[in-house]
Amino acid sequence: MTGELIAGEGNRLYYEQCGNPEGKPVVFLHGGPGAGTSAWHRRFFDPEQYRIILLDQRGCGRSVPHAADADGDLRHNTTWHLVADLELLRRNLAIEKWMVFGGSWGSALALAYAEAHPSSVSEIVLRGVFTLRAHELEWFYEGGASAIFPDLWEQFLGPIAVLERGRMIEAYHRRLSDPDPAVHVPAAIAWTRWEASTLTLRPDDDLVQAMTDPRAATAFARIENHYFMHRGFFDEGQLIADVGAIRDIPAVIVQGRYDVCTPAMTAWDLHRAWPEAELVMVPDAGHAASEPGIARALREATDRFAAGG
């Protein structure tokens, strides 16, 4: 069943429900920000046990206005708008509490939402933890990860003039904000290809091709860059500092050992601050939820919570 959430500032957000209408409610928070949801995201939940809710966040997927379009204004697209959207959706669906499940950017949004509304959350499942601290962004977008992927990094540098390469996020922001498609589309594809090419332990050409579709890549890159320019609209270290609000909520953190996009240091820092949350370090995986070991660990977590464990 699909629906449309009428959010503020003219946003109409696509959502869908599947699985058991009487089952345990869970909301899936996609990554990016700006990636949108896909049908395969349902596979992390037993459809006989869960009432599964997938939501396309502001500006992407099947929500409108779309960030790839001329009217895709991002002024009202912040973490706290998304948190309010989630709480509005929960209330509209008459759900008392739901499990919050998020990976990559979705893990940051899950933490922000749960810390703001702990009484609305029954359990938390996180994957590839990302909290948008300055050193996390600098690692992946300002040159740190080039030590592992120098060839791919060189492609990422390509659209940027040499004198601008000291601040890559800002340099891309200028191009992604340009109204001329001849400027912003190639920049969006280059930005998105860098991430898509580094998500998995082994290269996945099909994933890269899907993510670099021009329209999807434009929304993805514009929204992601907008959030990174604003450090996720968080104070530095806020999400980890505020875990006291959610310490009593059962939680599992799943992290790929060889995750280059969101390295294990962040999951480890979160776990140290929140030892009650179980940390599952997958020894043979990168970042993507589609990695076999990560997918298996996520399904084990949701199966256990469905059974009351």
pLDDT in tens, the chain (309 residues): 999 999 989 999 999 999 999 999 999 999 999 999 999 999 999 999 999 999 999 999 999 999 998 777 899 999 999 999 999 999 999 999 999 999 999 999 999 999 999 999 999 999 999 999 999 999 999 999 999 999 999 999 999 999 999 999 999 999 999 999 999 999 999 999 999 999 999 999 999 999 999 999 999 999 999 999 999 999 999 999 999 999 999 999 999 999 999 999 999 999 999 999 999 999 999 999 999 999 999 999 999 999 886
Let me know if 81 is a catalytic residue. Answer: no
Q: Which of 63, 104, 107, 197 is catalytic?
A: 104
Q: Which of 184, 226, 271, 287 is catalytic?
A: 287
Could you read off the pLDDT of 167-187 as tens digits, one per residue?
999 999 999 999 999 999 999
Let me know if 287 is a catalytic residue. Answer: yes
Q: DSSP string of the chain?
A: -EEEEE-STT-EEEEEEEE-TTSEEEEEE-STTTT---GGGGGGS-TTTEEEEEEPPTTSTT-BS-TTSTT---TT-SHHHHHHHHHHHHHHTT-S-EEEEEETHHHHHHHHHHHH-GGGEEEEEEES-----HHHHHHHHSSGGGGT-HHHHHHHHTTS-GGGTTSHHHHHHHHHT-S-HHHHHHHHHHHHHHHHHHSSSS--HHHHHHHT-HHHHHHHHHHHHHHHHTGGG--TTHHHHTGGGGTTS-EEEEEETT-SSS-HHHHHHHHHH-TTSEEEEETT--S-TTSHHHHHHHHHHHHHHHTT-
Give the model's pLDDT for residue 8. 87
Give the model's pLDDT for residue 70. 73
Give the model's pLDDT for residue 225. 98
Give the model's pLDDT for residue 308. 82
Q: Which of 56, 85, 204, 259 is catalytic?
A: 259
